[in-house]
Amino acid sequence: MTDLMERLFRASQIFRSYPLCHSDPSRSFCYRGRYFGLCARCTTMYLGGILTMLAYLLWEPVFQGILSLVVGGLLLVPGGVDGTTQMFGDRESTNSLRAVTGLLLGMGVVILVYGFVTMLL
């Protein structure tokens, strides 16, 4: 397990210069004193998107047409609220909350894009 985590940390250094993520260590996951290259929200956002795409490939999509647009849009709301109230409000989010909202954001984006694509086809 330790070798796997070490390889993940080395690989995550590629994302350090990702332009849409601040990669702030205080807002990133940490393992044995080493930080992931992406913040907690971006890490779980990618994870949620990848898992949703895999689920859509393996099983029949649950949400079709307009319902996927509604569900995808609703899944974006918690991340938007958490991110904007943290940025413009006088509060600090936690990594646990960032992880949950990031996971929902990743799922929401994939479901929303799927809905747009199926409606256009």
Q: What is the pLDDT of residues 31-81, one digit of tens each?
A: 888 777 788 888 899 999 999 999 988 888 877 888 999 999 999 999 999
CA distance 118 to 121: 5
Range of the domain at 77: 2-120
| 64 phi, psi to nearest 5 deg | -120, 150
Q: How many domains does the chain have?
A: 1
pTM exceeding 0.85: no
Find the helix or strand (DSSP H, E) in which 35 lies: strand 34-39
